[in-house]
Structure 1
Amino acid sequence: MEKHHKKRRQINKKAILIAHFGTTYPSALPSLDNIKQRIMAEIPGVETRICFTSNMVRNTWRVRRRKPEKWIAEGVTEEFLNIQGLLGAIGNLQDANYRTIIVQPTHMYHGEQFEDLKSYIRAMQSIRTVKRAWQPFEKVVLSRPALGTWGIEHDYSDDIEEVVALFGEDIERSKQKDAAMVYVAHGNDFFSSSAFSETCRAMREAWPDASIHIGVVEGRPGIEDILGDLASSGRRNVILRPFMITAGDHAHNDIADDGPDSWKGAFEAAGYRVETRMEGLGADDRFASIFAKRILETATDNGIDLVSEPVENNPHP
């Protein structure tokens, strides 16, 4: 007797997961929320959620959940108070039938955190069930950071130029004040920070009459390197701004603290007059919109239609 098996189907809904490094500073959270709001405005109708990739940051919020009323009173939303990591967030999406997921990192460049994300995504992409009908994901793909990444699909120098174009107001302000514009990125000790050097070069080419510098908290060029560069600029005024998504822990403690070990303290000790601009890049709608553009490009690259309605997949027609 011939057996007839009912065709197995799974609902395949689409989602965007924004992967932030994260922050423990409530005052820095609006920068992250602004990125989500811009993405939702430019890609409407698609489930959009967030996660934090930093274990230390998530652990801090986990402890804070013991007294939620304190943080809610400070304006922290439940979304941030109950923040998850990548695996937890993707697991919840998959459990709700979101099987096509674009992960958009908000990291500035391809460093340690982005490389770890790639490893997680590759592992999820490799899952194979005995019956294809029960594959947990149809597609789970990783988009690229603000300053791009290597590869032939998208020229990272174009991504850098796109970011550089947003800083004209900063540079003009520094010129009016006869000040050096010094950006401070996060960086790391394990990956080259050359993307920031290329970004700085592109800025200098765009504004050749300005004094522009990009240093990093971790790695090179550090404080001493930038102080050496400034010595030949002839300027005695400095505007410091974090080249980071948020103005969180690094911005307040490593950059703008009044102590001698901060960037501000080191510049002042060297005789410079320092102005700090404590605002994360994510607060700028134009910068936040870059991530929406990255998502749409990643969707196109991977044959994902973010506009169409969810469908029930039939792997065995």
Structure 2
Amino acid sequence: MIQDRPALLLAAHGAGRPQAMAGVDNVVALARAAFPHAEARLCLTAEAVRRALAKSTGAEPPPGPLLALAQLREEGFREVVVQPLHIFAGSEFMDLTALCQGLAGVQTLDPAHRPFDLLVVGRPALGQPGPRHPYLEDIERAAQALAGDVEMARAEGAALCYAGHGNKRFSTGVYQELQALMGRLYPETPCLVGALDGLLGLDHVRRGLAGLGAGKVLLVPLLLVAGGHAVRDICGQGVDSWAGALAADGLTVRCLSRGLGEVDAFARLFIDHARDAAQDAGFAL
């Protein structure tokens, strides 16, 4: 039976431990509240995370994107927004977009046999290149959503340092643009943005903090969830973690081991981008 309402598929990398999924769960809850007319569901873009989550919970995890879309198709949903819960347009976002573009481009003699009437993809939190939605405006809105972190750092007399995931296939220059906009919006609080993968790594951050003459730093994962990277690589106790390395440099380090999805102001960026994607395609969620 053809559904008379749209579907919203939220696509997250996810986390292998259920307690680390709080950031994802919060975005899903906010989306369902924002779009009560739409069918809002979750899929996980990382197969390894799905396996780890199944192992840790003993339950069936959320499906991957292809299965989730197939399920929506079989249930009669013809208008679908896929909203990535990625921070920036990296490799997982590009692969998800390619999958959706492939399905959206299927042409059949009978229109009823097409996978969907409309299948569109929203922007990640920090936006993406393109003429319709200037990505610098998206970055500025993300910086505004991080005002609570700035206030914490200011109250502690600390520099603010974000550790994003990054990647080795795409430019991580968007992190530098976020850092620049944070400096413009909050000039009284020094802010650095680095990445676990890519050019702007831990050495970049250490040099930046040394140049600032910082004695304290508030270290925050620039990640949707506080999963393995946050707990181990960023906020871990060992000297090979960011927190351990900065402490070895003589800094007083406090880690905010929290996913950005748990921050309502940041989570709502994804809600706004899903709404934009539907409106751009000519329908409403």
Q: Is the 8 A contact 1:215 1:226 kept in 2?
A: yes
Distance in 2 separating the partners of 1:49 and 1:133: 23
1:283 alignment counterpart: 262
Equivalence map 1:200-219=2 (5 Å): 200-219=179-198
1:231 corresponds to 2:210:
yes
CA 1:251 to 1:14, structure 2 compared with 1: closer, same or farther past 3 Å? same
Which residue among 23, 31, 37 is the counterpart of 1:31? Answer: 23
1:242 aligns with 2:221: yes
**Out of 249, 252, 272, which is 1:293 matched to?**
272
Residue 181 of structure 1 corresponds to: 160
Cα distance, 1:179 vs structure 2: 1.1
Q: Give % identity.
A: 33
Partner of 1:45: 37
Mapped pair 1:162 → 2:141? yes
Partner of 1:125: 104
Number of the residue aligned with 2:281: 302
Deviations 1:213-232 (A, max 9, x none): 11111112111111001111
**Residues 12 and 100 in structure 1, CA contact (< 8 A), matched pair in contact too:** no
State the AA in 1 paired with 2:191.
Answer: I
Name which of structure 1's ranges 155-164 and 168-177 shifts more when overlaid on structure 2. 168-177
Would you identify which runs of 4 or more consecutive aligned residues in structure 1 move more than 6 Å?
none
Shift, 1:11, TM fit:
4.8
- The TM-score with structure 1 as length reference comes to 0.87
The residue aligned with 1:75 is none
State the distance in 2 between where 1:167 and 1:235 align.
20
Q: Deviations over 1:187-233 (max 9, x none)?
A: 11111111111001000011112110111111121111110011111
For residue 12 of structure 1, report the CA deviation from its aligned partner: 5.4
Look up the equivalent residue of 2:15 and give its one-letter code: T
The equivalent of 2:77 in structure 1 is 98
Q: 2:174 maps to what in 1?
A: 195
Amino acid at match of 1:212: C
Secondary structure in structure 2 of the residue aligned to 1:129: coil
Shift of 1:176: 2.5
Q: Distance in 2 between matches of 1:21 and 1:117?
A: 11
**Which runs of 5 or more structure 2 residues have no equivalent in the other structure?**
none
Deviation, 1:123, is 0.8
**Residues 1:260 and 2:239 are matched in the alignment:** yes
Q: What's the offset of the Cα at 1:58?
A: 1.4
Distance in 1 (alpha carbons) for counterparts of 2:78 and 2:126: 28
Find the aligned partners of 2:102 and 2:149 in 1 and give their Cα distance: 41
Amino acid at match of 1:57: V
Give, in angstroms, the shift of residue 234 of structure 1.
1.4
Matched position secondary structure for 1:186? strand
Distance in 2 between residues matched to 1:147 and 1:212, nearest whole Å: 17
* Cross-structure match for 1:151: 130
Comparing 163-172 with 259-268, greater Cα deviation is found at 163-172
- Counterpart AA for 1:44: P
How far the C-alpha of 1:20 sits from its partner, in A, is 0.3
Q: Which amino acid aligns with 1:209?
A: E
RMSD: 1.5
Q: TM-score scaled by structure 2?
A: 0.96
Partner secondary structure for residue 232 of structure 1: helix
Q: Distance in 1 between matches of 2:166 and 2:140?
A: 19
The residue type paired with residue 31 of structure 1 is: G
Q: CA contact under 8 A between 2:10 and 2:84: conserved in structure 1?
A: yes
Separation in 2, partners of 1:38, 1:25? 21
